[in-house]
Structure 1
């Protein structure tokens, strides 16, 4: 699963319009969240919690907004629908970098197994 996510992240970063119509950050986030909900597997288990552990300034937010905290000063988060083309590009780049780091580090120094559910079961659990 980790290799699949790496491939998807690379495609979303380089050519987002190949996977989502408008190529916006909001669409990329919806695509990733939809994969989790519709595919029956957990693509990015614990990603939000990982972001919080690394020091998210707004831990109460959903992960798409926590990622934007790397781009905007605290208290200045824009609506996702109001991001400019350049802001969308930068946000997708930051998300891709965070996902690559997340895949490499589960907080314990061990490689993350993204094919397993948080309850310890496999994709069919």
Structure 2
């Protein structure tokens, strides 16, 4: 299955996939797809988000996406429905960006390499933690 195409379709027309275009519905849909691949689909997504945010090693990927969105949309006063629609759209755009990079030659290796570099730059990180 081509998940990038599926997620692009969901982002464009959530109602056709039984979704109400809320952040929670998008996360649930993505988690279901990931479960269907035994967790392989989202391998590296959390690490990619941490490096992108430069923070959040203690968060799950849905929390990291919300942090990225909150940084991007600081100071915007929108209607709640607009906020949900923006969160939904941004969630799927971030996921598409990740999948594009992951599918490049050596993409997964680069994602984890950048994450390890990021970890090594953290004052709290002890390399023995990886053993």
TM interval, short-chain normalised: 0.5 to 0.7
Q: Please tell me whether the aligned partners of residues 104 and 111 of structure 1 are also in contact (alpha carbons under 8 angstroms).
A: no
Report how many aligned residue pairs link the two structures.
101
Q: Please tell me whether the aligned partners of residues 20 and 28 of structure 1 are also in contact (alpha carbons under 8 angstroms).
A: no
Unpaired segments ≥5 residues, structure 1 = 77-82, 114-125
Distance 1:31 1:94, change over 3 A: same
RMSD: 2.6
Which residue does the alignment assign to 1:50?
A: 48
The residue correspondences of 1:1-125 to structure 2 (distance < 5 A) are 1=1, 4-40=2-38, 42-73=40-71, 84-106=80-102, 110=105, 112=107
Q: Please tell me whether the aligned partners of residues 48 and 98 of structure 2 are also in contact (alpha carbons under 8 angstroms).
A: yes
Unpaired segments ≥5 residues, structure 2 = 109-131
SS where residue 42 of structure 1 aligns? coil
| TM-score, scaled to structure 2 | 0.63
SS where residue 53 of structure 2 aligns? coil
More helix by share: 2
Distance 1:21 1:102, change over 3 A: closer
Distance 1:20 1:45, change over 3 A: farther
